[in-house]
Amino acid sequence: QQQVKQSPQSLIVQKGGIPIINCAYENTAFDYFPWYQQFPGKGPALLIAIRPDVSEKKEGRFTISFNKSAKQFSLHIMDSQPGDSATYFCAARVGSGNTGKLIFGQGTTLQVKP
Amino acid sequence: EAQVTQNPRYLITVTGKKLTVTCSQNMNHEYMSWYRQDPGLGLRQIYYSMNVEVTDKGDVPEGYKVSRKEKRNFPLILESPSPNQTSLYFCASSLDRQGVNGELFFGEGSRLTVL
């Protein structure tokens, strides 16, 4: 099953809160899990990514947690700021080189209130 | 500056009137792709191209055409647009199909409304 299920669809937090976005997958052939961030009026851009042999990866205030046995991964934003308000997409890669592709989740619109 | 450029950014048209959305990248990428973004459905791939004169269908190709005559350009063609093609469209490019380290470079989007 080449799907990535993302939740919630939308999320509102106060400044300083820790929004959590979850993604789940079925295909164990997925081997790389990037997250994309999209600001209003802009295209998505790579934010952070993780491989399945790692349980956690941090880059600044952004952390990916990965649970291989549960086939779930999540994005946490520490000390969230209004500037983090954006749409976030999880994705999963299957295959490699020119036989691979990225499968995107449904997206989560995050609003961080001042 | 490395970028993917789409035009037009906004377009309102009527059912059946052929239109083309252009996409150009200046990074010498071999792989280019078109996605549409709809609320609750995320990013869905329409067509992709591995290289010049090599194109293939993505997950939602119906009603669309593409061409890749030059490496830098990958236009999306709607021969007879219908209201269900009202959407936000993104062009993306990368060194290969799944992106080095999962990174695709996206344009800023083209919002299309078909009346």
pLDDT for B50 equals 87
Q: Indicate the residue of A96, A98, A107 with minimum beta-carbon distance to B42.
A: A107
Mean confidence (pLDDT) of chain B: 93
Residue in B with minimal Cα distance to A4 = B42
DSSP B9: S
Residue whose tokens read 């937090």: A13
Query: Where in A1-114 does DSSP place strands (E)?
Result: 4-7, 10-14, 20-25, 30-38, 45-50, 56-59, 62-67, 72-77, 86-94, 101-104, 108-113
Residue A97: list chain B partners with CB under 8 A.
Answer: 96-98
Residue in A with minimal Cα distance to B3 = A43
pLDDT for A98 equals 62
Selected for mutation to probe chain A from B10, B97, B100 (highest A CB count within 10 Å) is B97
Flag if A89 and B43 touch (Cβ within 8 Å).
yes
* pLDDT tens readout for residues B9-23: 999 999 999 999 999
Flag if A43 and B106 touch (Cβ within 8 Å).
yes
Residue in B with minimal Cα distance to A9 = B40
Q: Indicate the residue of A45, A96, A97 with minimum beta-carbon distance to B106.
A: A45
* pLDDT tens readout for residues A62-110: 999 999 999 999 999 999 999 999 999 999 988 766 667 889 999 999 9
pLDDT for A108 equals 97
How far is residue B65's CA from residue B62's CA, in Å, rounded to a whole number? 8
Which 44-103 residues of chain B touch chain A by CB within 8 A? 44-45, 50, 90, 92, 96-99, 101-103
Mean pLDDT of B58-70: 96
Mean pLDDT of B32-37: 95
Pick from B42-51, B63-72, B83-92: least confident:
B42-51
Closest CA to B23 of B113, B80, B79, B90: B90
pLDDT for A99 equals 65
Which 73-112 residues of chain A touch chain B by CB within 8 A? 89, 91, 93-102, 104-107
Q: Does residue B43 contact residue B90 with C-beta atoms inside 8 Å?
A: yes
Q: Indicate the residue of B41, B50, B99 with minimum beta-carbon distance to A106.
A: B41
Residue in A with minimal Cα distance to B51 = A98
Rg (chain B; Cα; Å)? 13
Flag if B102 and A34 touch (Cβ within 8 Å).
yes
Distance from CA of A14 to the nearest CA of B (A): 23
* pLDDT tens readout for residues B83-106: 999 999 999 998 866 555 668 999
